Amino acid sequence: MTTIADITAADHADMLGAIRSLPSQFRVGRDAAAIRREAIAARTASSPGALVVCGMGGSGVGADLLPAVFDTDVPVVGVKGYDLPSWVNEQDMVVCVSYSGNTAETLSCFAQANDSHHVTAAVITSGGKLAELAQQAEVPWVEVPGGLQPRAATGVLFGALATVASACGAVGGSDHVDDVLDECAKGVQTVVDQHPVDVDPTTLPGLVAARDLAGCVVVIYGAGATAPVAWRWKAQVNENGKLPAFANSYPELDHNEIVGWTRFAETGAKVGVVELLPPDASEAVRARFDITKDLIGESASVVLRYEATSQSKPAALFELLAHGDFVSAYLALDAGIDPSPVDRIESLKERLGGR
């Protein structure tokens, strides 16, 4: 019989513990940003344009989640690359997020924002070069605690980003942001509660799903607000599970990807599909999930559908996100692999030598 100790034996850096800490992380990030609130607000244009959030990987996901979780007052644009879009000007607010503070693409965006006198509202980082450069340029530094894998600090980074966005006038006042962040925490907590540490592990929904998906290329489909959550799942299956995974969203995938399944058998691949129903799914979107599943379901080894139980949108989205965190960690642990290290990313960054 598999015991909890068997499952967690490879969890040397305690990824499961980090996932369980997610609900308490939102307030940590909020508090780190709140003490910079006035300094950030003072840098904001009187009629703010777009909020431009630069960040890669685990530090970039907040840019996609922010407009899904909040009804934003200005456009939020995520930049996942070396360059700011050419339209960015002094009416816009640039926020650079890098958990380590040493990610080349984010440092490049920070330099471009400063060189062209665009407004960098703040940087969010635990330290590194980004903190140094922000201090030199007198840009507010939201200092988040370090020590986690960036992707395991999502609650901290999201809490900080939402608070910075609020200070910039992009998502409403601080009370509203605090309420929404509390909902996000509640959504995660419902999933943490389904994964107690002292039960027969084979009853844990995350492990059950991981076993269904074992040996599969994982394809995750969202729609609307769950599109960024599907992307987060994909990244977590990649980084925690060390498996190939791909994400797409309805309705766009019904206009191209669905045809690609026609000759699926010729690939010889084994694919598991994960469906993330949006909390406010319309009849049309629901029908798309159902009919598409009907058309492609035969090709997939397994189709797992997730529908949140939480009532509010922020809670529902983070509930669905947290399922992906657990499933991806168990995908590694059940194979005796430590989910935390990302050796390929480290060695790539080393070979690039800061480029």
Tell me which residues touch ligand F6R (CB under 6 A): 56-59, 98-100, 103, 106, 149-151, 239, 342, 345
> Considering beta carbons, is residue 100 or 114 the nearer one to ligand F6R?
100
> Considering beta carbons, is residue 106 or 190 the nearer one to ligand F6R?
106
> Considering beta carbons, is residue 149 or 248 the nearer one to ligand F6R?
149
Here the tokens at position 195 are 């994964």
Minimal distance in Å, beta carbon 79 to ligand F6R? 13
CA 47 to chain centre: 29
Minimal distance in Å, beta carbon 176 to ligand F6R? 27
Whether 76 contacts 165, CB under 8 Å: yes
Whether 141 contacts 39, CB under 8 Å: no
Q: How far apart are CA 248 and CA 254, in angstroms?
A: 10
Q: Hunting for tokens 């200070």 — which residue is that?
A: 167
Q: How far apart are CA 332 and CA 338, in angstroms?
A: 6
Here the tokens at position 55 are 């960040």
Q: How far apart are CA 350 and CA 346, in angstroms?
A: 6
Minimal distance in Å, beta carbon 347 to ligand F6R? 12
Minimal distance in Å, beta carbon 141 to ligand F6R? 15
> Considering beta carbons, is residue 151 or 288 the nearer one to ligand F6R?
151
Verify cis geometry, omega within 30 degrees of 0, for the bond prior to 251.
Answer: yes
Whether 155 contacts 28, CB under 8 Å: yes
> Considering beta carbons, is residue 64 or 183 the nearer one to ligand F6R?
64
Minimal distance in Å, beta carbon 240 to ligand F6R? 9
- Determine the residue with CB nearest ligand F6R: 57
Minimal distance in Å, beta carbon 231 to ligand F6R? 12
Handedness of CA 258, 299, 328, 183 (dihedral sign): positive
How many beta carbons lie within 10 A of that of residue 137, not counting itself?
Answer: 14
Minimal distance in Å, beta carbon 21 to ligand F6R? 15
> Considering beta carbons, is residue 211 or 349 the nearer one to ligand F6R?
349
Terminal Cα distance for the chain, rounded: 49
Q: Is 263 exposed, middle or buried (0-12, 13-18, 19+ CB in 10 A)?
A: exposed
Question: 31 phi and psi, to 5 degrees?
Answer: -65, -40
> Considering beta carbons, is residue 150 or 201 the nearer one to ligand F6R?
150
Minimal distance in Å, beta carbon 232 to ligand F6R? 10
> Considering beta carbons, is residue 246 or 264 the nearer one to ligand F6R?
246
CA 72 to chain centre: 18
